[in-house]
Structure 1
Amino acid sequence: MYVCNCNGVTRGEVAEAIEAGAQKPTDVLAHHGCEPCCGRCLPEIAETIGGAKAGSLVAAE
């Protein structure tokens, strides 16, 4: 499932970036060579980062 429609970033790619050390939503997008466009994905990415820090990251895709 896509998290960022503008850049075509999936949940699995978000998880990959977090595992590689991304600490904020813009880090996740930068990991995949992207920048925020409309910004609608940033809250969901931030929530995923928060879940990863709490130990509940589950990669889907």
Structure 2
Amino acid sequence: MNEDRKLADATLVCTCNDLYICDIVEAIDTGEVDYREILALHGLQPRCGECRPHVEALVSEH
């Protein structure tokens, strides 16, 4: 995870995969609620995993 990039853009959730809040919300809107499935919907795979808590928090909020 690149903390500097994440701090520079509050909408960036995963710096390893360039995954943004809007990407996660899009996946949630299609019915995905699992971390890995949300990434897979965008053709991505987990890397360092530091974004997982943020992704799961967004799922809980929606």
TM-score, normalised relative to structure 1: 0.80
Count, aligned residues: 52
CA deviation profile, 1:8-43 (whole Å, cap 9, x unmatched): 010001100000111111111011000100000001
Structure showing the higher helix proportion among its residues? 2
Q: 2:60 aligns with which of 17, 33, 50?
A: 50
Task: Tell whether 2:25 aligns with 1:8.
Answer: no
Q: CA RMSD in A?
A: 0.7
Q: Give the distance between the partners of 2:42 and 2:57, measured in 1 at CA.
A: 18
Q: Establish whether residue 22 from structure 1 lines up as the match of residue 36 from structure 2.
A: no
Moved over 4 A (4+): none
Max Rg structure: 2
Q: For structure 2, list consecutive stretches of 5 or more residues without a partner in the other structure.
A: 1-10
Q: Percent identity?
A: 33
> Which 5+ residue runs of structure 1 have no aligned equivalent?
53-61
CA deviations on 1:30-58 (whole Å, 9 max, x unpaired) are: 11000100000001000110111xxxxxx
After TM superposition, the score normalised by the length of structure 2 is 0.79
Amino acid at match of 2:39: L
